[in-house]
Structure 1
Amino acid sequence: MSASTDPRPWQRTDDRTLLHTRVFDVRSSRFRHPGRADAKEFFVIDAPDWAVVLPMTPQGELVMVRQFRFGMEGLSLELPGGVIERGEDPAQAAVRELAEETGYTGAAPTVLGSVHPNPAIQSNRAHVILVPEVQLTADLKWDADEEMSIALVPVQEVLQRARAGEVTHALMLNGLFLLEPWWREQGKKRGWAGI
């Protein structure tokens, strides 16, 4: 095969759930390449879609959370967000998660885009939602295993922290990328520092 050959989709021939948890399922799937007779086993994590929230204050600050993350075994500075419930609209899930985690609410949410967190092994999508004009208005409603600090951080500082390796959450970095066009437009109108 040459590098210039367009790849062809593989066909799924079989799958079975290996593990069911409250957060995700692990599935064994057999796929066959269209040019080959044999099928091979691959593993897929089936998780619900997620909402990643970009809560923007009128002053151009992001409402951010710092919390312990078990996978990295450390504290992570990141955007609020969480699981989208079955049948829930991503924008409404973002509004709900933002209020529950931070106590902030704002103007009408806008879906900026969606990404595949890790398409090699995950089937879900993360929806990036901007909630502008946020203000502290609600009581916190953390889950039993949630504990976090909340900070208002200017977007420029968030970008500096990301470039310095202090912000490593990939979905947050995706969110900042999708925020850029909106930020440039609003920044001109409001006199905010550019990205």
Structure 2
Amino acid sequence: GEAILVRQHRHGAGSDFLELPGGSADSHSEDPREAGRRELLEETGYEAAEWIYCGYHFPNPALQANKMHTFVALGCRKIAEPRLDPFEDLHVVRIPLAEAVGKWINGEFKHSLISASFGMTLKTLRERGLIGAELIGLGGASPVDRG
């Protein structure tokens, strides 16, 4: 399978980052899955046939109680062009999942929240039998391509 990522300029760090598509809910009442659907479409122009919840983590529990929810979107297909906010500087990056895993293992996901979410995504895919342990460096069976 492929990974749909974005390369986004982060002004605070002054450089580009390889990231998972995502963002914040528009309101406290917006469902995290709906926010994920909206963000995937806005940032990439893709929609997914299936969404699997991977879990959440606290980005900064010393100061804030907000949660960052992670989903994996399966069966993605492009249905539109990205609709970026004026301040967003990002580009869609489609690469083989094995290549994305290699980039993660080699430390190329420099945004700590994205790296944590990518790890949660791989754990979920592995637990559901959608990828093999070999893909994430655990040995064992070969990866399963679910296209």
TM above 0.5, yes or no, is yes
**Hey, what does 1:178 align to over in structure 2?**
120
Structure-1-length-normalised TM-score? 0.63
Q: Which has the higher contact order (CA 8 A, sep 6+)?
A: 2
CA RMSD in angstroms comes to 1.8
For 1:183 and 1:124, locate their aligned partners in 2 and report how far apart those are by CA, in whole Å: 25
2:130 maps to amino acid = Q
Q: 2:18 aligns with which of 77, 81, 101?
A: 77
What residue ranges of structure 1 are gaps of 5+ in the alignment? 1-59
Post-superposition offset of 1:63: 0.5
Query: CA 1:142 to 1:121, structure 2 compared with 1: closer, same or farther past 3 Å?
Result: same
Query: CA 1:134 to 1:193, structure 2 compared with 1: closer, same or farther past 3 Å?
Result: farther
What residue ranges of structure 2 are gaps of 5+ in the alignment? 137-147
Structure-2-length-normalised TM-score? 0.82
For 1:143 and 1:151, locate their aligned partners in 2 and report how far apart those are by CA, in whole Å: 18
Post-superposition offset of 1:168: 1.1
1:67 maps to amino acid = Q
For 1:186 and 1:162, locate their aligned partners in 2 and report how far apart those are by CA, in whole Å: 18
More helix by share: 2
Greater Rg by CA: 1
Post-superposition offset of 1:193: 6.0
Post-superposition offset of 1:194: 2.1
Structure 2 residue 4 is matched with structure 1 residue 63: yes
